[in-house]
Copies of this chain bind each other. A is one copy, B any other.
């Protein structure tokens, strides 16, 4: 759509939507449109952001390498890493050979299993993620207390071996159903699967056991999904479903200047339909709420390979910030895998608590925080990843003081396309992220 046409259309929607709302807020919101500079100016801003991010990533990559404790068994932390099938297979072979040798020498066999307990998880500020302290416990077969679990462990090792040999991927549920009698309950095979990841020092996706996917992506991105070349500028409004098995993703290419991480699919749809990525070259992705493993892996992969800045568009509530924390620092129950699941240095673009007043979001589009919201907000203030960022602390304090929250969709009160035509361009122009 031409600039002129776009503006004319917006004026129509503005007029249509202002009849019953406080006129002051709506006309102020419209007045922000005049603050927008030409797209070329905004693009120049984004280009310098992208190149800064790229050089910073290189520095960060170096510092990660300096601290990388995954390879070293004498290190005090466990950080598992992606491994290819043959490497995982040979690690399993080594484990099984060691067990066989131990049995033949009359000592039975025992697995050394790293502890994944919460008390064993620490946040490393240098790495900006949660990792596991190296503390292993023995799981001997010749012991009434551990015989069953040792058997389950051996069985999971053998199943993973079979999956890798066939070159396929399965879900946790599939794995459970191969031996319901032994596993009894899926939580047991799931837990041992995590044990096996830690024992082998590889990610769960390296084991070819995948989670279901729910994320979608559109924008300036080309990649291969299981060998099929996907051009994400040609995926219509629906977008491309993010593949469940990240190791089948290859050939990532992009001319984007940033990655726009969106919490909700409604906002994603608006951005996709307006082809926002054609005006401001970017990659847009969403996990449709709580981030799933596949989307987190995909985002990290994009960030690592493309070295692009990641800007996040989430609801202005504690839950929005919680979602950012999962992308950035991982969730507690997969801490051992955090290195491969987390994307550090995500910028909080919006909707931020301070935006509510800055953009004069009408009172009736704001929602009062519930007691539970306030409790979660206060807990977040205690989290290391929030404390680290002064801007975030201030925003969170604003939220807790005003006791107000708002969804991304609240911007629709200024017109359905206000998000893509005014709010986001202005945010980008003003480099208004923290």
Asked if B416 and A21 make an inter-chain contact with CB atoms under 8 angstroms apart, the answer reads no
Asked if B244 and A237 make an inter-chain contact with CB atoms under 8 angstroms apart, the answer reads yes
From A11-19, A56-64, A76-84, give the one contacting chain B. Answer: A11-19
Asked if B238 and A159 make an inter-chain contact with CB atoms under 8 angstroms apart, the answer reads no
Q: How far is the CA of A293 from the CA of B345 in the complex (A)?
A: 37
Count of chain A residues with a beta carbon within 8 Å of a chain B beta carbon: 74
Q: How many copies does the complex hold?
A: 2
From A121-129, A171-179, A370-378, A425-433, give the one contacting chain B. Answer: A171-179
Q: How far is the CA of A351 from the CA of B192 in the complex (A)?
A: 29
Q: Which of B12, B169, B178, B236 contacts A273 (CB 8 A)?
A: B169
Give chain B residues whose Cβ lies under 8 Å from the Cβ of A158: 16, 19
Q: How far is the CA of A179 from the CA of B414 in the complex (A)?
A: 9
Least Cβ distance of A361 to chain B in Å?
10
From A39-47, A219-227, A321-329, A393-401, give the one contacting chain B. Answer: A219-227
Cβ of A96 within 8 Å of any chain B Cβ, yes or no, is: no
Q: Which of B213, B273, B288, B365 contacts A177 (CB 8 A)?
A: B365
Least Cβ distance of A151 to chain B in Å?
9
Q: How far is the CA of A381 from the CA of B21 in the complex (A)?
A: 51
The verdict on A174 contacting B412 (CB below 8 Å), with A162-B12, A169-B273, A273-B226 known, is: yes
Asked if A169 and B269 make an inter-chain contact with CB atoms under 8 angstroms apart, the answer reads yes
The verdict on A364 contacting B236 (CB below 8 Å), with A212-B265, A214-B214 known, is: no
Q: How far is the CA of A12 from the CA of B337 in the complex (A)?
A: 30
Q: Which of B181, B210, B248, B416 contacts A236 (CB 8 A)?
A: B248
Least Cβ distance of A87 to chain B in Å?
20
Give chain B residues whose Cβ lies under 8 Å from the Cβ of A30: none
Cβ of A35 within 8 Å of any chain B Cβ, yes or no, is: no
Give chain B residues whose Cβ lies under 8 Å from the Cβ of A415: 178
Q: How far is the CA of A248 from the CA of B177 in the complex (A)?
A: 40
A171-B269, A230-B234, A235-B240 given; 12 more Cβ-contact pairs under 8 Å: A12-B162, A20-B182, A168-B416, A170-B270, A170-B416, A177-B365, A235-B241, A237-B243, A237-B244, A237-B248, A240-B240, A244-B269
22 A-B residue contacts at CB 8 Å?
Answer: A9-B166, A19-B158, A20-B155, A20-B182, A21-B179, A21-B181, A168-B416, A173-B412, A174-B266, A177-B407, A177-B411, A178-B415, A178-B416, A180-B365, A212-B269, A212-B288, A214-B288, A226-B237, A227-B236, A230-B234, A230-B235, A235-B240
Which residues does A use to contact B, with CB under 8 Å? 9, 12-13, 16-17, 19-21, 155, 158-159, 161-163, 165-166, 168-171, 173-182, 210, 212-214, 216, 224-230, 234-245, 248, 265-266, 269-270, 273-274, 288, 362, 364-365, 407, 409-413, 415-417
